Amino acid sequence: MRREAVRLGDTLAEVFGGALSNNQEKLARVSVLWREIVPAELCEHCQVVAISGTVIKVQVDLPIYAYQLRLCSDELLAKLQGRLGRTGVSEVSVILKK
């Protein structure tokens, strides 16, 4: 049986009884988009961990992946803005996991 696709933010809001804040919903939506637009090899080493205003904070596990992510962050930002609109995201901040 095939099911209809649903937005992750909608599903999480339903599961948690609407207790998710707008920021949490945005984080969930951006996390899903992130996995869609970031190359698989790089995606294995990074994840969206927070959103502060319009800044997406992405944590990486090794310095080499932080470097690679910084090299393509303008392109990734443009793709995110294309999906979310320019008001949704203004910057990708890369953080090295400790």
- DSSP-based three-state secondary structure for 55: strand
Tally the residues of the chain. Answer: 98
pLDDT in the model for residue 20: 55
| Residue 71 near residue 92, CB atoms below 8 Å | no
| Pair of tokens at residue 16 | 């948690």
For the segment 5-37, what is each residue's pLDDT rounded down to a tens digit? 667 666 666 665 555 577 788 889 899 999 999
CATH class of 8-96: alpha beta
pLDDT in the model for residue 39: 92
Q: Indicate the average pLDDT of the chain.
A: 85
pTM of the model: 0.74
For the segment 59-98, what is each residue's pLDDT rounded down to a tens digit? 999 999 999 999 998 999 999 889 887 667 889 999 999 8
